[in-house]
Structure 1
Amino acid sequence: MDIVILGSGNVATHFAQNFHHQGHKIKQIFSQKKANAQALAFAVHADSITEISEMQRHADLYVIAVSDQAISSLIMDFPTDLSGIVVHCSGATEMDVLNKFKHYGVIYPPQSISKNEDSDFSQIPFCIEGNTPKVQATLLTLIHTIAPLSFACSSSQRLAIHVASVFANNFTNALFQISYELLQKHDLPFDLVRPIILETAKKVQTRIPKEVQTGPAVRNDKITIKKHLNFIREQDDWKQIYQLLSQEIVKRKS
């Protein structure tokens, strides 16, 4: 396929590299920052552009890999007579934001992707949606060349995956940071809790999280909970988080 990548950040970089490695032709890389466009374009043997007016009109696929907030403003300058499929990569943006085009869809990777870190696309179940059965089938065939676990899903299912990912990834990482700061405050290294983080993540690979829940809340150990809350009494935010999550665990137990 001939592909145009719009964006030069984390997701755009990995898409461009993976498609390139699988033999697809990356025709152009677009970025408003010339240096960024040139750097990624050089890596995948593509041309770099900084204006939508320079975009080729006869590519097979146009991948919009920019922030959710930038999608609508970016496509305002797109020609509407593109023969190829236009997709975005957002988990929370409706597919129909692209309905000005004849062929459109979504390729969403439910994964935290960083430009300078390897991401094994073969292990990521990409969420695929198309505005017609033919478009969806074409996108699935394409994405299976780089991410064989990919599957078709609706916009509502994609949003459910996005919200679930925020709970499972973003929120847990914020809790890791609280653990880090609490330990630092008492001259202890974060390495002390890394094993339990890994063990918990390992358990939920094969079991339902509720089944492996541990801790004072699931035991209804009110004495320990009170002691913990008193220990972090100077951190009101931490106390609220501790109480809310403890209440959630107790509710799930019943």
Structure 2
Amino acid sequence: MIKVIIIGAGNVSSHLYQTFSKAKEVDVVQVYNRNHEHLNFVNEPEKRTSNLEQLKKADLYLLAVKDEAIRKIAEKIPDNKAVFAHCSGSIPLTELSLFENHGVFYPLQTFSKNKPVNFKEVPVCLEANSAKNLEFLKKIASAISDNIFEVSSKQRKALHLAAVFVNNFTNHLYALAADYCEKNELPFKILQPLIKETANKIETLPPFSSQTGPALRNDQKTISAHLEMLDDDQKKIYTILTDSIQKLHGKKL
């Protein structure tokens, strides 16, 4: 059985702990966080630690912490024959080069602590400093996911940016729409079937081909009417997105 230690207590850490705990091939021997109170998600109290000097021996140390903390924590952990991997989408592999065996174990998903995720469907992006370490990470990743990808640091950085567009920015638009609905005494749930269909559509169609709406049609009357209904900040967002859609599809404002 592969012994794993998870460093961190955020959303990614808690989901990795829960998922690995159900995997027959993996044994989570310890979870570290500086604040011991944040380790309540770890069911076994004996596996919680807030002291890096008390870390046990393991085959894999996963640093699932904030990007700026990866190097700082890594420098406090003595090197050994284990593989040390971080879970960041934007930090390069070389950030852990102080360890003889190092890699990246990046699960590409949005995680909330109390929202279950089917990890079998989560893409896990891997990178390592040797073929042997890469195969080791593949073995561990395959214990929890059916979607495993070899992704370089440069590719992963681009992927992380793309993820910001499809997740963070999109969710912000949901929030703006929800606020607009509330101000007009409309329930946001009316839009949920549309949101689901939009997401489902790109499973069979490229996003470019599935684009609809007044910007694509160059419907200036509707666009002008929409702009009249928005405040200054909303107008900026609407105009930028409309312009972007029309440039991508070869239309003019």
Q: TM-score, normalised by structure 2?
A: 0.94
Aligned partner (choices 244, 247, 250) of residue 251 of structure 1: 247
Map 1:3-82 to 2 at 5 A. Answer: 3-23=4-24, 24-37=26-39, 39-41=40-42, 43=43, 47-56=47-56, 58-79=57-78, 81-82=79-80
Distance (Å, rounded) in 2 between the aligned partners of 1:236 and 1:96: 44
Distance (Å, rounded) in 2 between the aligned partners of 1:82 and 1:74: 15
Distance 1:150-1:59 versus aligned 2 partners, 3 A rule: same
Deviation at 1:36, TM superposition (A): 2.4
Structure-1 residue corresponding to 2:216: 218
Aligned partner (choices 133, 136, 153) of residue 135 of structure 1: 133
Which AA in structure 2 matches 1:243? T
User: What are the superposed Cα offsets for residues 33-91 of structure 1, whole Å, 9 maximum, x if unpaired?
Assistant: 11223x233x25752211211112x3100011111122122112111x32100011000
Distance 1:229-1:162 versus aligned 2 partners, 3 A rule: same
Which AA in structure 2 matches 1:167? F
Map 1:174-193 to 2 at 5 A. Answer: 174-193=172-191
RMSD: 1.3
Map 1:127-206 to 2 at 5 A. Answer: 127-206=125-204
**Percent of pairs identical after alignment?**
36
Distance (Å, rounded) in 2 between the aligned partners of 1:85 and 1:45: 25
Distance (Å, rounded) in 1 between the aligned partners of 2:45 and 2:180: 48
Distance (Å, rounded) in 2 between the aligned partners of 1:198 and 1:46: 42
Distance (Å, rounded) in 2 between the aligned partners of 1:203 and 1:148: 22
Classify the secondary structure of the residue corresponding to 1:87.
strand
Q: Is the contact between residue 17 and residue 44 of structure 1 (CA under 8 Å) also seen in structure 2?
A: no
Q: Is the contact between residue 95 and residue 155 of structure 1 (CA under 8 Å) also seen in structure 2?
A: yes
Which AA in structure 2 matches 1:251? K
Deviation at 1:140, TM superposition (A): 0.6
Classify the secondary structure of the residue corresponding to 2:157.
helix
Q: Is the contact between residue 29 and residue 40 of structure 1 (CA under 8 Å) also seen in structure 2?
A: no
Runs of 4+ off more than 6 Å? none
Classify the secondary structure of the residue corresponding to 1:238.
helix
Structure-2 residue corresponding to 1:238: 234
Which AA in structure 2 matches 1:68? D
* Structure 2 segments unaligned to the other structure (5+ residues): none
Structure-1 residue corresponding to 2:87: 89
Q: Alignment length, in residue pairs?
A: 248
User: What are the superposed Cα offsets for residues 154-200 of structure 1, whole Å, 9 maximum, x if unpaired?
Assistant: 11111121111110011011011111111111111112211111111
Distance (Å, rounded) in 2 between the aligned partners of 1:151 and 1:245: 31
Distance (Å, rounded) in 2 between the aligned partners of 1:115 and 1:46: 21
* Structure 1 segments unaligned to the other structure (5+ residues): none
Distance (Å, rounded) in 2 between the aligned partners of 1:33 and 1:10: 15
Classify the secondary structure of the residue corresponding to 2:173.
helix
